[in-house]
Structure 1
Amino acid sequence: MNLMDNLKGKIKNKGIRIVFPEGSDERIVKAAVRLAKDNLADPIILGTNEEVKNILEQNGLDLPDNIEIIDPKTYPNEDFDEMLMSFLERRAGKNTEGEAREWLRNVNNYFGTMLVYMKKADCMVSGAISPTGDTVRPALQIIKTKPGVSRTSGSFIMTRNDGKETYVFADCAININPNAQELAEIAVESIKTARLFDIDPKVAMLSFSTKGSGQSEEVTKVMEATKIAQEMAPNEMIDGELQFDAALVPSVGKSKAPGSKVAGNANVFIFPDLQSGNIGYKIAQRLGNFTAIGPILQGLNQPVSDLSRGASEDDAYQVGIITAAQTTME
């Protein structure tokens, strides 16, 4: 079974409610219909009945019984007032009631995020129309990060050869220059992502140095992050600082980091900053012919995923599967 088949097995017939705020987009509606018909989720599409049904008619599709369409502008007053009060309480005086009403009625990402926060949906997928900040900002303001996690992060699943080679790369999407504590948190959250994809995690904290071969502030940061991550997750296999070849290639790992249980066997790679992570995954994708699945947002109390604005229907479908599967994680 490939990665997606494994994830489908974890969520099929569980009635996981995914909210899709971008109901005016054909790709989103078609992906939601596929998820519903495959019994992988019970989608909630935000938009008007007219615009969603027009998309269905144009594509010869019926509306499955397990899809709900909600128009935030006509959401019943009693339910809206409950959401409004919950929003104001969560924001603790950072927004006026007028601002809150405006955002919830007219900004679907805020409305959708509140559905997740209030447990009326299990997770959310957005970003096909809106930029990353419009998806991530409401999630950070309302859902917030888990205890012990100061920032969300973005990982990619890198896979090729029908899943025979599968790795986790992080953070490749969010944090420009994480400090040692933040880097350690990214490592621990990436372990959870690895297990979601049935990867037995062996975590390499990457650097241009291996075990003190180089000296600089950048190397010291990775050393410190490694120690913190090991303290946070003492039963996990985490080692650093390691160069990429020492982390991946057994002969190099044995030579450069003898005695390490991770060196030469790593499958979770934690990059020291966003530049290296983003460049690294794109090199693997374009020159190594890896498929990059993500970004998968890590560290939030409830799952929210950000699509690329260039995403296809199939991308939205797959991200929906991944996001639903995140709700099954402990």
Structure 2
Amino acid sequence: MKTLINELKEKVVGKDIRIVFPEGNDTRIVSTAARLQAEGSVIPVLLGNPEVIAATAKEAGVIIDNIETHDPANDELFEELVTAFVERRAGKTTEEQARKMLLDPNYFGTMLVHTDKVQGLVSGAVHSTGDTVRPALQIIKTKPGIKKTSGAMMMLGRSSRFIFSDVAINISPDSIDLAETAIASAETASIFNIEPKIAMLSFSTHGSAKSPEAEAVAEATRLVKEARPDLIVDGEIQFDAAFVPEVAQLKAPDSPLLGNASVFVFPNLSAGNIGYKLVQRFAKLEAVGPILQGLNKPVNDLSRGCTADDAYKLALITAAQAVAK
């Protein structure tokens, strides 16, 4: 089985995918940019004050002489982006407000994505999830039929891959939200060569327990089947019945998953976030993401505790999303 990195490189090398990093003042990010440029997989673009970026690169011990940089406070593209931003916001933002907002590197970078000057954005090493997601929702917006974005984590074992959603965005999703997350997660899985077999998780399996929470998951499953009859999906279902064939035979013998689920949709953010971290630490699976789903163009959010290697992998994932768009 090819490694994820090798597969991603095969997808993006030669496609001239440009990824913008709004956090050019972070050593992890400039190291990532230098690595991407050196191997020729993705064209990195850094945002920030040029002197600060240069000092950061020196601190990181990397060379970024030929990497494109933009300083929102003093950039030739600023006026063009202000005009485009006001148009995109359609009366919700004045020109004066736009000028102030575009000094924020996340807004500036998201506008580069919107205007197709770059094909994706990776942020979050310094900024909060809200700082990364808010401009994306206001400018990039969600795909038709998707009301809310969601955050997926790719969980990697030595010979296995899984998608866990939503682990980052929606605190208390309703049935429609869960259905949207499931469909978006199936698309994410397919990009990374994972056959999507979707488990809509609950503490109940096929009515074994009665509660509004379990019924919401069952309704979400019905909505997925209605919208995408081509997908393999089951719920509400407990994790063991979705993942262990022997348990599936006992608890859910008629399940199309047969205990071989690859995409796990959690009933709420608490379960999803705790669940992926338990698997990451106890089972020693590698967690890559979060991958933001449902947007018209790829914008992805790093953890503030990320490493340069995490940023590198997410940049390749973002580029792969851009190729698949």
TM-score with structure 2 setting the length: 0.96
Partner deviation per Cα, 1:91-133 (whole Å, 9 max, x = no partner)? 12222221111111x2110000000001011000011111111
Partner residue in 1 for 2:47: 46
* Structure 1 runs of 4+ with >6 Å offset: none
Counterpart of 1:103?
Answer: 101
Please report how far the alpha carbon of residue 74 of structure 1 lies from its aligned counterpart in structure 2 after TM superposition.
1.4
- Matches of residues 34-183 of structure 1 in structure 2 within 5 Å? 34-63=35-64, 65=66, 67-76=67-76, 79-104=77-102, 106-160=103-157, 162=158, 164-183=159-178
Tell me the SS of whatever aligns to 1:218: helix
CA contact (8 A) 1:242 1:263 kept: no
Written as runs of structure 1 = structure 2, the 5 A alignment for 1:1-330 is 1-63=2-64, 65=66, 67-76=67-76, 79-104=77-102, 106-160=103-157, 162=158, 164-330=159-325
| Contact 2:30–2:64 (Cα < 8 Å) also in 1 | no
Measure, in 1, the Cα distance between the counterparts of 2:58 and 2:205. Answer: 59
> For residue 71 of structure 1, what is the amino acid of its counterpart?
D
Change (3 A) 1:136 1:96: same
How many correspondences in the alignment? 324
User: C-alpha offsets along residues 148-196 of structure 1, whole Å, 9 cap, x if unaligned?
Assistant: 1110100111122x2x122111111110111101100000000011112
Residues of 1 paired with 2:162 and 2:25: CA distance? Answer: 35
CA distance in 2, matches of 1:178, 1:59: 41
Contact 2:179–2:221 (Cα < 8 Å) also in 1: yes
How far is the alpha carbon of 1:285 from its aligned partner? 1.1
Q: In 2, are the aligned partners of 1:37 and 1:64 still within 8 Å (CA)?
A: no
Residue pair 1:109, 1:134 contacting (<8 A) in 2 also: yes
2:68 partner letter: E
Shift of 1:80: 2.4
Take 2:24 and 2:43, find their aligned partners in 1: how far apart are those partners?
15
Cα-to-partner distance string for 1:262-307 (whole Å, 9 max, x where unaligned): 1411111111111111111111111111111111110111001111
C-alpha distance in 1, partners of 2:258/2:206? 11
8 Å CA contact retained: 2:154, 2:162: yes
CA shift at 1:259, angstroms? 2.3
1:280 is paired with a residue whose SS is helix
SS in 1 for 2:148: coil
Write the letter of the residue equivalent to 1:157: M
In 1, distance between residues paired with 2:33 and 2:208? 51
Letter matched to residue 112 of structure 1: G
TM-score by length of 1: 0.95
Deviation at 1:59, TM superposition (A): 4.3
Show structure 1 runs of 5+ residues with no match.
none
Separation of aligned partners in 2, 1:63 and 1:211: 56
Per-residue deviation, 1:245:
0.6
Note if contact 1:222-1:240 (Cα within 8 Å) is conserved in structure 2.
yes
Contact 2:18 2:118 in 1 (8 A): yes
**Does the 8 A contact of 2:46 with 2:70 survive in 1?**
yes
Write the letter of the residue equivalent to 1:148. G
Please provide the CA RMSD for this pair. Answer: 1.3
Percent identical among aligned pairs is 52
Name the aligned partner's letter for residue 197 of structure 1: F
Q: How big is each residue's C-alpha offset from its partner over 1:38-95, in whole Å with a ceiling of 9 and x where there is no partner? A: 1111111111222222233344433364x2111111112xx32221111111112222
Secondary structure of the structure 2 residue equivalent to 1:13: coil
For the residue of structure 2 that corresponds to 1:251, the secondary structure is helix
Partner amino acid, structure 2, of 1:125: V
Gapped regions of structure 2 (runs ≥ 5): none
- Quote the Cα distance in structure 1 between the aligned partners of 2:307 and 2:281: 19
